[in-house]
Amino acid sequence: EVQVVESGGGLVQPGGSLRLSCAASGFSFGSFWMTWVRQAPGKGLEWVANISPDGSEKYFVDSVKGRFTITRDNAKNSLFLQMNSLRAEDTAMYYCARDHSYWGQGTLVSVSS
Amino acid sequence: QAVVTQEPSLTVSPGGTVTLTCASSTGAVTTASSPNWIQQKPGQPPRALIFSASNRYSWTPARFSGSLLGGKAALTLSGAQPEDEAEYYCLLLDSGAQAWVFGGGTKLTVL
């Protein structure tokens, strides 16, 4: 069974950093693009970033460029999102997805003083 | 990056048919945009329904179908069920920006 499970969310002050993780199982992790999507409270979905199977290609939404980094460890079937210089508008549920097909339950990030 | 536009809300009667559409500010939606349709019910994570414009996943009910229609991506629901009441999001590839973009979502009411 394909599963992706996010972790690492929490409350952080503006300007702070947080690292999200996504543990994958049930498929050949190193063969698939992986994606992060977020959803602010009461709002729609926003595509954040994705990374190619070998990690050589990475793409970001304009609003997080220069602040967020996406990486993966294929040996550990894990995806990461390093979030720096966090702002209040980054407050959201963050979802990990295998390409855009299998989605996790999400991890909540709150940026507030 | 592109702006993707969907109907904010639609209503369909039980057993009825409804079509949701998805337009891009960069021009006609084509297979190169690789349209995806995602369903989300309140309090639940998103669930993928359609990829590459018209392909269903193994779990997607046959009453959902995707197509390209008049320069837009379209999701047609034929024989609406009460459990189809949800928010539906279109997701397109903006190849110029090398990024994917969600539409604002369509809130579908089955009533």
pLDDT for the residue numbered B96:
82
Q: Is the pLDDT of residue B97 over 90?
A: no
Distance CA B76, CA B78 (A): 6
- Cβ A35 vs Cβ A29: under 8 Å: no
Q: Show residues of chain A in contact with B91, CB under 8 Å.
A: 45, 47, 100
Q: Show residues of chain A in contact with B38, CB under 8 Å.
A: 45, 100
pLDDT for the residue numbered A38:
98
Which residue in A has a C-alpha nearest to residue B55's C-alpha?
Answer: A101
- Cβ A101 vs Cβ A34: under 8 Å: no
Please give the structure tokens belonging to residue A63: 């609003």
* Test the B interface: residue of A3, A4, A6, A37 with most B CBs within 10 Å: A37
Q: Is the pLDDT of residue A90 over 90?
A: yes
Q: Is the dihedral of CA B36, B37, B42, B43 positive or negative?
A: negative
- C-alpha atoms less than 13 angstroms from C-alpha of A10 in its C-beta half-sphere: 10
**Partner residue opposite A60 with nearest CB, options B45, B57, B99:** B99
3-state secondary structure of B84: helix
Taking residues A91-111, report their average pLDDT. Answer: 97
Helices first, then strands: H and E counts in chain A? 0, 11
Q: How far is A101 from chain B (nearest CA, A)?
A: 5
Q: Show residues of chain B in contact with A50, CB under 8 Å.
A: 100
